Amino acid sequence: MDCALFLAHTHPNFKRDTGHLKDEWRTIPIADYLTTTTYFQDPWIVRTPKETDSDIYQMLDTFPPSTDVTKFGFSAAALAIKFLTSIKEETRAYIRNIVLEEDHPAVSMSASHGMGLIPFCQHNPLLRIERRVHLWRNIFLQGALPRVCKYIPVYPSIRGLETLDAHLSESMTRSVALWTMEAMSLVSAQMPIDSFSLVFHADRAPEKCSEVFQNVIKRDATWQAAIEENVKLGLLEPLDFFHRPCSTFPFDTFTGFPQALEEAIANKNFPFIRCDFDIGEYSTSEAKKLAEERREWTLEMWRLKWLEVGLVNWNDIPSLLEEIPLFKELLSES
């Protein structure tokens, strides 16, 4: 999307033809917003207000009161990139190991920030970077928090278990898939395969993370692969761009995710992605059996069935979240 916008905004008539367009909450025209110098910078660049165009900050200050705004910081990867950039190349050559604790949701598509580490790994073959992303403190919160916090009071205790179940189950697979696919894209971007690793960290709940992967992540991947199988056979209409991903079909995440999950678990092709808890085995062959059983199903039938089985009863999730101080810190004060 950024590439398309970049090409569009370089057209000589772009500003003239789009000058009348505005978002309902932006105070500047879309054309001016897209032509600011910061819009097309790499997402892992750490900027201060002085380094950023004032109109971008003006735009961020004009969210309507009804918008749910949470307080996110910079990713550990972004800060590491800023640090590595600030020191001399000969100094960087002596660095051997870096562990990045991604223990909170961060701004600017933090899952993609591994791209910014590639030049440092290429120039220093002895450098080893482990990006340790916390599931309960980051990935699951990143997907669920903006919606959950609007419905569940957290002072003095967390309530509304049914609402929490719904939001967590809906967002878990999508969040894990995002981080997985972003990590796998590093290979084609020339990241040295021995230099980088992504670790899904269970925090203090390894058994619960194993349960999540078994009952939610693997299930959704199997359903997606089964639907794709029936699309391939002509039994279902192909999912176009605007339905992938789409909240209408929560189990449909990213193209290739079921296969990527299978290869990551089997330690094939992508040995740099791993979990520090037991996730068992997974094979997309299970999806073919499911697809055969549901040959007559429409997409609407798949969606309705998911609504019946998609929610998982996490009886101890409230106590888990109460143990995470950042959960309260991230909530907007507004």
Could you state, in order of their start, the residue ranges of all structural domains in the chain?
2-60, 76-329
Paired with 197 in beta bridges are: 130
pLDDT of residue 326: 53
For residue range 262-306, what is the model confidence (pLDDT) as tens digits? 988 887 767 889 999 999 999 988 899 999 999 999 988 887 887
Q: Per mean pLDDT, which range of 100-104, 105-109, 206-210, 315-319 is the poorest?
A: 315-319
Q: What sign does the CA torsion over 141, 144, 147, 149 have?
A: negative
DSSP 8-state code for residue 14: H
Tell me the C-alpha distance between 285 and 293, whole Å.
Answer: 13
**Strand pairing report for 196-201 and 128-134:** parallel
Token couple for 129: 């970077």
| Exposed / middle / buried, residue 251 (Cβ in 10 Å: 0-12, 13-18, 19+) | buried
Do 140 and 209 contact (CB within 8 A), yes or no? no
For residue range 179-193, what is the model confidence (pLDDT) as tens digits? 999 999 999 999 999
With 0.85 as the threshold, say if the pTM is over it. Answer: no
